[in-house]
Structure formats: structure tokens, C-alpha cells
């Protein structure tokens, strides 16, 4: 652009906006490619671009409850199912399936044993969708009422009419979870758990987080219920429990030695999430990360190594901030936002870190995140997106892995009965 001034000419030249949001330098010292208060646009290939239109989900066929999870999986008949979990008229959590022919969503069945107001964690394994929850929601909670703690693991194969969240064992006892231990073996199992609780059995097992590695399902931040003793609850925030190899219904090491559990008693914090990178799994804690790798041994299937296990250190401070896309994993710690590699955690908060952390401190509900590879076909844009709820809007911070910068935008999202509508954790969408 050229502007003529008298007998001369003045030029204003636009280079790029590759610096993105920068709140950590005085505004008078900012480089030309950065801004202290940008909002409402994205940066791609060093260009300012408008965001794609956001379509807010509404439906007359669902109860007015927050959505606790949404995912798509492929069943054994090669049919894709897009499902959500949401409150079901105050009686529990219902499973709904998207119906492109309409109405929009079909009610499948009640999906949990009376669980209410709890974010679910889920994984597809062998063309079956498994899901769990023990009511862990983080330091802020924006839902309707407090969560019901009712540990369970359920599954739906997409073919049967109803999901399954109980199991009847060979001794004729029944657990209120597909992950459980029969009445016969429960007393022996209780003696080897931390604290050695005297269990009557059968026991139901559930977790705040669910993963899969080495053909085994893994529950983390575990709670069990002694179904034979008034459903008495035992919480083990540092415990992981895994199924037998290739047998997602067997969780009893007395039945199959490749099943079992491990409590990290040498750390002072609790498990806040799971991720798998390559052949290894990573167990996130408040102040550290533990790597778990398959050994090939049935009796001792995992080797555990704390990347660090100090009283204070880099860990995942917010359970639903962990997001993964292939070999790329990101999370929010107390001091920064990080990506995780096999060897180390690398900070990516950059010059936008202080703004993100200040907004998290003032948020009204737990922040959550997702890694999105593209917005539609042909528009590839790998980003880590952090969603921070406030009373009347949600602030979205977007990190571009290619350009290594951050941009925010504010979303005027509707409220439901004073609660944040967006309770679904982005890391498991």
C-alpha cells in the first residue's frame, strides 16, 4: 500500500502476524508481528484469518442436561456409531445415538448404574466402546449438582439393544461393573490392596480415566465398591488396574495373572490422566509423570518408571487438559502448558502463558482441551485448543503447532439452568 504525501510517498508494509498473542513484554517493546490483546481470529501460515462459523448444538429430542461425553466408533459390522452420554430425566445417564435420518438422536438405553453429573472417560477396543466414571471432575465444577460416585465399567458393541455394565461370575455372584472380582476371590484381593481392606465381595471396579495398551484396558484413579457390604466405597487415587491381555472382561489376577493392579505409594499426588505414545503409556499425576511399558511377561506385564516423582514437579494440573493426536500430546501443568515427548516435557505457553494461566485461575469450571488436525477436508490446521469456561462465555485459546503461536477468541455459549453447557471433556471427543 502506498500513500502520497506532498511530493513524497509514505509506505506501510504488512509482514506477518507470526508472533500471535504476547502479554509478557511491555506493549512499547512488542515486536511488529505480535499483539497484546488480539481476539476473534486465527493465524495460519502467518496470515490473519477468520474462524469458520461455529454451530452451537441444540436439540428438542434430548433432556436439558449437560453432555458428559461424545465419540464415534466402528462396530464389528463395519458400521460407524456417533454417540453421546447425557442426563436422562434425573434417573441416570442415558446413551444416545446420532440418527442422520431424524429425529437427530435416538435413545439407546440407560448407560450407567444410576450415575449422575459425571464426566465419562472412554475408549474403543476390538470394535466395542468401553466407558467408565467415578465422578472425578477436577477443582471447578460447572454441572448440575455434585456427581454420584458409583464405580463401574460399561460397554456397548453397537449391535445389542442395551449397553452392559454388570458381570456375573462363575461363582454366580454379580458385580455392578463389567470390571470386577467375584465374591470368592474378593477377600484375597482386598488383602493385597493398599490398607488391606476386608472385602466381602463381589467388588465393582471403576476409574476416573480409561486407557488401552498392549491389548489391555487400563483404569486409573480407581474406586471400588464392595457390593456384598452395602456398596462400601474405597478410593485409591494413585492406583491403576488393568485387565488380562486380550480379555477385557477379566480383571482378577487370581483368574488370569496378566490382570492386576499397582498403587504408586511413593508419590504424594494423585493420577490425573492417561496417554499412550508409541509402545509406552504415560500416567499423569498432579506433580509428575510415570511411564509404563510392556515387558512381555504374563506375571509382571508392566515396567513402571517415574520420569520424576518429587514433591513438586511438572505434572497435569487439570484432568481434562490432556489431549493427544498420534505422537503429539499436550497438557496444562501448574507453571506452563507442555507437549510431551518420550524423553521430556517441552513448554509451549510462550508469550501467551500468563494470560492463559490468569484466565484459568478466574474460570468458573474446569478447563478442557483437544488437539484438532483439521476443520474440514482440505483445511489442515493442527492445533491444541484450550477451552476455559466463564459465567457467560467460554474463552478458547488456540496454539498452532506449525506457527508456534497462540490466539484467543470468546464464544457466547448458552447456559442451562445456570450450569455450563459444555461439560464434555475435549480430550476424549
SS (H, E, C) 71-129: EEEECCCCCEEEEEEEECCCCCEEEEEECCCCCCEEEEEECCCCCCCCCCEEEEECCEE
User: Residue 381 half-sphere exposure, CB side, CA atoms within 13 Å?
Assistant: 19
The per-residue pLDDT for 94 is 86
The per-residue pLDDT for 263 is 93
| Phi and psi angles of residue 96, each rounded to the nearest 5 degrees, phi first | -120, 145
Q: Tell me the pLDDT tens digit for each residue of 341-350.
A: 877 889 999 9
Which CATH number goes with the domain that contains 182?
A: 2.130.10
Residue 333 domain boundaries: 2-428
SS (H, E, C) the chain: CEEEECCEEEECCCCCCCCEECCCCCHHHCCCCEECCCCCEEEECCEEEECCCCCCCCCCCCCCCCEEEEEEEECCCCCEEEEEEEECCCCCEEEEEECCCCCCEEEEEECCCCCCCCCCEEEEECCEEEEEECCCCCCCCCCCCCCCCCCEEEEECCCCCCCECCEECCCCCEECCCCEECCCCHHHHHHHCCCCCCCCCCEEEEEEEEEEECCEEEEEEEEEEECCCCCEEEEEEEEEEECECCECCCCCCCCCCCCEEEECCCCCCCEEEEEEECCEEEEEECCCEEEEEECCCCCCCEEEEEEECCCCCCCCCCHHHCEEECCEEEEECCCCEEEECCCCEEECCHHHHHHHHHHHHCCCCCCEEEEEEEEECCEEEEEEEEEEECCCCEEEEEEECCCCEEEEEEECCCEECCEECCCCCHHHC
pTM of the model: 0.88
**Regions in the chain scoring below 50 on pLDDT:** 1, 136-144, 415-429
The per-residue pLDDT for 333 is 95
What total number of domains does the chain contain?
A: 1
The per-residue pLDDT for 93 is 80
Amino acid at each position: 500500500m502506498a500513500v502520497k504525501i506532498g511530493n513524497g510517498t509514505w509506505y506501510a508494509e504488512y509482514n506477518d502476524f507470526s508472533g500471535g498473542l504476547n502479554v509478557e513484554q511491555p506493549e512499547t517493546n512488542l515486536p511488529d508481528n505480535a499483539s497484546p490483546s488480539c481476539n476473534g481470529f486465527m493465524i495460519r501460515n502467518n496470515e490473519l484469518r477468520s474462524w469458520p462459523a461455529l454451530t452451537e448444538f441444540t436439540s428438542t429430542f434430548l433432556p436439558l442436561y449437560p453432555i458428559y461425553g461424545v465419540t464415534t466408533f466402528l462396530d464389528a459390522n463395519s458400521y460407524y456409531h456417533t454417540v453421546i452420554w447425557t442426563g436422562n430425566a434425573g434417573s441416570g445417564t442415558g446413551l444416545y445415538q446420532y440418527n442422520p435420518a431424524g429425529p437427530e438422536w435416538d435413545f439407546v438405553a440407560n448407560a450407567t448404574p444410576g450415575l449422575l453429573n459425571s464426566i465419562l472417560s472412554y475408549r474403543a477396543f476390538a470394535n466395542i466402546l468401553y466407558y467408565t466414571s467415578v465422578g472425578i471432575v477436577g477443582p471447578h465444577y460447572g454441572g448440575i449438582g455434585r456427581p454420584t460416585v458409583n464405580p463401574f465399567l460399561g460397554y456397548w458393541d453397537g449391535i445389542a439393544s442395551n449397553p452392559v455394565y454388570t458381570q456375573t461370575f462363575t461363582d454366580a455372584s454379580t458385580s455392578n461393573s463389567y470390571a470386577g472380582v467375584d465374591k470368592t476371590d474378593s477377600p484375597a484381593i482386598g488383602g493385597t490392596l493398599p490398607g488391606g481392606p476386608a472385602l466381602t465381595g463381589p467388588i465393582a471396579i471403576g476409574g476416573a480415566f480409561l486407557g488401552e495398551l498392549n491389548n489391555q484396558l487400563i483404569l486409573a484413579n480407581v474406586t471400588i465398591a464392595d457390593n456384598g457390604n452395602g456398596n462400601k466405597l474405597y478410593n485409591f487415587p494413585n492406583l491403576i488396574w488393568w485387565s488380562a491381555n486380550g480379555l477385557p472382561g477379566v480383571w482378577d489376577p487370581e483368574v488370569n495373572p496378566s490382570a492386576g493392579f499397582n498403587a504408586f505409594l511413593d508419590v504424594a499426588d494423585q493420577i490425573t490422566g492417561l496417554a499412550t505414545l508409541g509402545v509406552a503409556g504415560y500416567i499423569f499425576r498432579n506433580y509428575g509423570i510415570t511411564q509404563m511399558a510392556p515387558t512381555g511377561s504374563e506375571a509382571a506385564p508392566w515396567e513402571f518408571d517415574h520420569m520424576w516423582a518429587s514433591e513438586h514437579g511438572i505434572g497435569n494440573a487439570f484432568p481434562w487438559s490432556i489431549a493427544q493426536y498420534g505422537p503429539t500430546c499436550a497438557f496444562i501443568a501448574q507453571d506452563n502448558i507442555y507437549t510431551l515427548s518420550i524423553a521430556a516435557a517441552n513448554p509451549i505457553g510462550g508469550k501467551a502463558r500468563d494470560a492463559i494461566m490468569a484466565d484459568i485461575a478466574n474460570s468458573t469450571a474446569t478447563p478442557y482441551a483437544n488437539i484438532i488436525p483439521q476443520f474440514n477436508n482440505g483445511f489442515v490446521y493442527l492445533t491444541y485448543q484450550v477451552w476455559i469456561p466463564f459465567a457467560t462465555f467460554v474463552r478458547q485459546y488456540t496454539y498452532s503447532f506449525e506457527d508456534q503461536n497462540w490466539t484467543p477468541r470468546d464464544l457466547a455459549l448458552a447456559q442451562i439452568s445456570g450450569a455450563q453447557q459444555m461439560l464434555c471433556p475435549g480430550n476424549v471427543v
